Amino acid sequence: MTERPIESLSFEEALKELETVVGRLERGEVALEESIALYERGAALRARCEAKLAEAEEKVAKITLSADGRPVGTEPLDAG
Q: What is the mean pLDDT of the chain?
A: 86
Evaluate if residue 9 carries a pLDDT over 60. yes
pLDDT digits (tens, 9 = 90+) for 17-54: 999 999 999 999 899 999 999 999 999 999 999 999 99
Q: What residues does each domain of the chain span?
A: 6-74
pLDDT at position 80 is 47
CATH code of the region 6-74: 1.10.287
Q: Which of 75, 54, 43, 41 is nearest to 11 (CA)?
A: 54
Q: 32 near 46, Cβ under 8 Å?
A: no
> CB-based contacts of 52: which residues, under 8 Å, 6+ apart?
10, 11, 14
Q: Which of 59, 64, 53 is nearest to 77 (CA)?
A: 59
